[in-house]
Structure 1
Amino acid sequence: MTPRLYEGTKRLLAMPMTRGAYNQYRGWETPEDENPKDEGYFVEYQDGGKPNCPRHVGYISWSPKDVFERSYKALPVSTLPPHQQRVLDEKQELDIRITKLDEFIQLNPMFGKLPDAERARMKRQLDVQRELSIILSERIVNF
């Protein structure tokens, strides 16, 4: 059988993220043969695919920068009504804050020096932010 060439279109959310940051977000170790500083994109598919992470409604993955930029072009902001664009912007900003707080909790030695009550509040904050991100994803899927 001879392979055939296929071309498709997918709708997705994406933001720049290194391979190492993506692996950290997923709770994975970066394999020794991969460079954690590789530039790329965090991708969440909006048009189907079984979720593979409980913090997201869609299937998520990481794509190298050159592959992603050859395959996808950002939609002009003007294609969405302002109220929908605000939801996209809010989700993107929230996901960045989630990543930063998660990194602080997981990696920063200062977290362990904080009082128990403050550490508990920060973990609750992270849980609530993740839940809000899921809600925003659900809204976006239904645009």
Structure 2
Amino acid sequence: MIAKLYEGTKRLNATPMTRGEYNAYRGWENPASENPADGGYLVEYQDGGKANDSRHAGYISWSPADVFERTYKPVLGSGLPPHQQRVVAEKAELDERLSKLDAFILDNPLFAKLQPDEQERLARQSHAMAAYSGILDERIVKF
């Protein structure tokens, strides 16, 4: 049997919590084979299925800190209202795409092999994306 590689993205809420704190929160005994001082996070999935604890709207679980921190990165502006969080996330995604486009234009030898009209369209696209990013930045500063 050959395993296939998968990659996914999930949005979730997370609270730093040791394994022992999580077990106490759930009303469970800590298994003798587990260290209650292990660092980690209480994780609540926003789209991860049916709630399994009446204090939460989504499915919760505990994740060891090292696994969690390799897998998830904080969402910029997470203390803002949802409509403002979306603007911050949109700017971050736009800036990442703009950075990749600019790197292609400046550093990739394939760019020089493109037809001049395509090079010009890509340059215009970069300028438009930069202007759009600037507008989003102006909005974020006013939050």
User: Which of the five TM-score ranges fits, normalised by the shorter chain?
Assistant: 0.5 to 0.7
Whole-Å Cα distance in 1 between the matches of residues 13 and 78 of structure 2?
16
RMSD: 2.2
Whole-Å Cα distance in 2 between the matches of residues 70 and 21 of structure 1?
22
Equivalent position amino acid for 2:55 in 1? R
Aligned: 1:6 with 2:6: yes
Report the equivalent of 2:33.
33
Structure 1 residues 20 and 78 mapped into 2: Cα distance closer, same or farther (>3 Å)? closer
Q: CA deviation at 1:73?
A: 0.1
* Identity fraction in percent: 72
Whole-Å Cα distance in 2 between the matches of residues 72 and 78 of structure 1?
14
Extract unaligned runs of 5+ from structure 2: 86-143
Structure 1 residues 83 and 38 mapped into 2: Cα distance closer, same or farther (>3 Å)? same
Q: Which has the larger radius of gyration?
A: 2
User: What are the superposed Cα offsets for residues 14-35 of structure 1, whole Å, 9 maximum, x if unpaired?
Assistant: 0110000000000000000000
TM-score (norm 2): 0.54
Structure 1 residues 56 and 81 mapped into 2: Cα distance closer, same or farther (>3 Å)? closer
Q: CA deviation at 1:79?
A: 9.0
Report the equivalent of 2:129.
none
Whole-Å Cα distance in 1 between the matches of residues 5 and 40 of structure 2?
25
Structure 1 residues 79 and 8 mapped into 2: Cα distance closer, same or farther (>3 Å)? farther
Whole-Å Cα distance in 1 between the matches of residues 61 and 78 of structure 2?
27
Whole-Å Cα distance in 2 between the matches of residues 28 and 59 of structure 1?
17
User: What are the superposed Cα offsets for residues 100-127 of structure 1, whole Å, 9 maximum, x if unpaired?
Assistant: xxxxxxxxxxxxxxxxxxxxxxxxxxxx
Indicate the SS of the match to 1:41: strand
Q: Considering Cα pairs closer than 8 Å and 6+ residues apart, tell me whether 1 or 2 has the greater RCO.
A: 1
TM-score (norm 1): 0.54
Aligned pairs for 1:126-141 within 5 A: none
Q: CA deviation at 1:43?
A: 0.4
